Structures are given as structure tokens and as C-alpha cells.
A and B are shown apart, each in its own frame.
Chain A
Amino acid sequence: MFPGTQAVLMEEGLSPLPEAPAADPLEHLVRRIRSGEVEAFEDLMARTEGRILALAWRMLGDRHLAEDAAQETYLRVFRSLNSFRLGERFEAWLIRIAVNVCCDLARKRGPAPAPVESLETLEGDAVPMGAEEAVLFHQRRTLVRQAVAALPPAERAALVLRDLEGLSTEEAARILGVRPVTVRSQAASARAKVQAFCARRMKPTPGGRP
């Protein structure tokens, strides 16, 4: 286990992290950093920071908190890099630390506030849309974010890792430190809740039912 992290999601037994692919480019960087080449940490970040920021935001639902979480994640990674076992998949180790940091921050913050619709645009929002289509898009986005924010933390983590990060059930289970069957049922419960939440609140439109 990682020093300084509270493994809130790891009470159900532990399995080793997935093994690294034959030539993990991240492991090469880890070796360089361990040998004192601090600049290699910048390369390591450049290759992983987008994923970690996205993961933190999906777990926390708040930009500033997500940035804090990502920063704390990388500092913990740097400080405990010697405890990473070469041969394991580095990215899984990194995600595990990020999930733990997010859980710590989420616990400190308390229940997630329901996201309010804002006019901030996402990257890639520049797709031309008709007025009606844009309204529908924003409404849908707000509802989904509110639904995700209302999930219990463990269900939210399972949903994020399975459906948004694209991890397999087994990989998500190893990262969260729970049994695969637990991840499976938590993710399923989260999917059903998000769908029901949106279906109850969404104005019926010709374009979609839920």
C-alpha cells in the first residue's frame, strides 16, 4: 500500500496491480527519475496528466478541486516513486493514487454540490448547433452531471473507471482494491441511477426518450 494514502475503497481485499506490457515506456521514465534525472518527471507528466486531470474532474465534479487533486497526485507519486514495483503497470499505480487522493479530497469537502449549468464551453464545443439542439445538449449535460454528482462515492468511482476511463472490470477492481463482482454491481447500479435521474427530469423530445 502507499504511504500517506487512506485507502477508503480498499477494504475488500487486495490483488496485485496489472502487469506492465513488455516495454512500458512509462517504466523507462520511472527508472530515469529514480536514478536522479528529475527532468524525466516532466515527460512522465506530459504523457499522463490529461488522463489524471480528466479522472480527477470526473471523480470530483469541480475544476479547481480536480486541479488540486492532480497536483497532489503527482507530488505523492514523486515522493513515493521508490515504492512502485517495477513490472507492474505504472499507469494503474498512478490511477490508484489519483483515486485515493480524490477520495480524500471528496471526504474533506463533504457531499458534492449539485453542478449548476454554466455557459463555460467544453473543449470541442465549437461544433455548430441549432438553438434547439444547443439547449437540449446543455440540458442533457447538466442533468448527467447532477446525476453523477448524486451517486455514492464507490458507485461513482466504479462508473468513472469502467464507463469513462474504459478500464475492464478486473482492472478497475484491482485499482479500487475490491472484488470484480463489487465493481460490476456498483457500475450497474450507477448506470441505472443516472439513466433514471435523467429520464425523470428531461423534457420529452422527439430526439430521445430517456
Chain B
Amino acid sequence: MTTHVLDQLPLWVGGDLEAAEMAAVDRHMEGCPTCRAASEDLRASQAWTQEAMASPFGAADHARLRRAVMDRVVVESRPRPRSPRMRPSLLAAAAALLLASLTWALHQPRPATPVPVTGPAVPAPAPQDPKPAPPLPHPAFARVAPAPARAEPPTTPTGPTRIEFQTADPTIRIIWLAQAKPLPETESSTEKP
């Protein structure tokens, strides 16, 4: 009988011995119940470790992790925020208002005296547009607005900005109401399932 191989068994059970050493351990255990029993204990312990350390996470945990990471990743991959930031829907609304005002003004009979300016020519669109227009690059914002003849500051700090344009035709005046709201930092990263 060769000497016991108990010290080598933790390597043997993981297949971490050289081929010749593996064979020597196998040979020894054929004739040694002590080492054979110890190897069986180690094998059982290894199987129990795999059983006890099985992942406790399920599909819902996976999905929650993915959503949390993707929220951050999407925010981080966005171009750096511009200042001031305007909602794309607001830009579209401003453009629509401008167009509508022009159309309305052009269809008015020309009175002898200028039309008094009393308020917006068309109702302002709802600020919460459920389907925002495709995002416009920021420089486009400057192109939407013609060179203003006269721009007045907002009357109240919280109310809409009122901008009036006097065109070359004294009977046509364009009134532009715009409400600028800062965008929230993230739209969805604070959502929790």
C-alpha cells in the first residue's frame, strides 16, 4: 500500500493534477477505503456547492438590471445638453404658430388703419404634445425666427414669451407666444418597475 493521497484529493477532484498523478491517485484509491471515502466526500461537497450556489436571480431580475443599465447608457451616449434647451415639440409649435399667423394675416382684408394687436391670432397648441416632432438640431431654432423688427421681453417671469414682428406691410403683424421649459435631466432613468 502506498502512502495516503488525502492531500492531493482537492486537486484530484477538480481535475487539477498531471495525468500521471491522476492515475497514481486512482490506483491508490482502488486499494484504500479511507482515501476512497474522502474522495467521495469531496465529490459530494462539490456537488452541494454547485447546488447551493445556483443563481437566485430570475428573468424579472435580469430585465430590471437591463432596464436600469440601458437608462443610464442611453443618457450617457446622448450628445451633451445644449443651453437653453427647448422641447422639439415646442419648436414645431412655434413654427406652426408663425405659419398660421402669416396665413391668417395674408387673408385679412387690408383696412386703412393697422390692426390692433390684442393677443395671439390662433390658440396656442397644448404644451404636452403626446407625439413630439422629430428632434431638430439646435441651430434650426435660429432659422425658424425671422429677424425681429421688435422683440419684447416676457411680461411675467413665468408666463409665455410674447414676441411681435412688424412686417414691411404695416397691416401685418406677427405675434409669437412661446413657453420655454427646461427639459428634465432624464426622462426615464428614475423609473422603477
Contacts and interface: CB of A to CB of B under 8 A. Distances in A.
Interface of A: 36, 38, 41-42, 45-46, 49-50, 53-54, 57-58, 63, 66-67, 70-71, 74-75, 78-79, 120, 122-124, 140-142, 144-145, 148, 159-160, 162-164, 169, 184-185, 187-189, 191-192, 194-195, 198-199, 208-210
Nearest to A58: B53
A66 B9 CA distance: 32
A195 B69 contact: no
Contact of A50 (B10, B55, B68, B77): B55
A78 B61 contact: no
Given A75-B73, A194-B49, 10 more contacts: A49-B62, A75-B72, A79-B76, A144-B53, A148-B52, A163-B49, A192-B42, A195-B41, A209-B44, A210-B41
Contact of B65 (A67, A144, A187, A189): A67
B65 A71 contact: yes
Interface string B38-67: 001110111011111111111001101110
A144 B52 contact: yes
Given A75-B72, A163-B14, A199-B41, A57 B66 contact: no
Contacts of B54: 54, 122-124
A140 to B, nearest CB: 5
A194 B14 CA distance: 14
A73 B49 CA distance: 25
Listed residue (B13, B48, B51, B61) with the most chain A CB atoms within 10 angstroms of its CB: B48
Given A75-B72, A199-B41, A184 B11 contact: yes
Given A120-B56, A144-B52, A210-B41, A53 B46 contact: no
Interface in B71-96: 72-74, 76-77
A122 to B, nearest CB: 6
A162 B14 contact: yes
A191 B44 CA distance: 11
Given A54-B55, A75-B72, A188 B11 contact: yes
B68 A57 contact: no
Given A195-B42, A209-B37, A209-B41, A49 B65 contact: yes
Contacts of B13: 191
B129 interface: no
B33 to A, nearest CB: 13
Given A122-B54, A145-B52, A75 B69 contact: yes
Q: Report the 6 A-B pairs with minimum CB-CB distance, sorted nearest first.
A: A54-B55, A144-B52, A188-B10, A195-B45, A141-B52, A192-B10
Nearest to B64: A67
Nearest to B67: A42
A164 B49 contact: yes
17 contacts: A45-B69, A49-B65, A49-B66, A57-B56, A58-B53, A78-B69, A123-B54, A124-B54, A144-B51, A163-B49, A187-B16, A188-B10, A188-B14, A192-B10, A209-B41, A210-B41, A210-B45
Contacts of A54: 54-55, 57
Given A46-B66, A74-B69, A188-B11, A53 B50 contact: no
Contacts of A75: 69, 72-73
A141 B137 CA distance: 58
A53 B55 contact: yes
A144 B56 contact: no
Nearest to B17: A184
A53 B74 contact: no
Contacts of B52: 140-142, 144-145, 148
Contacts of B10: 187-189, 191-192, 195
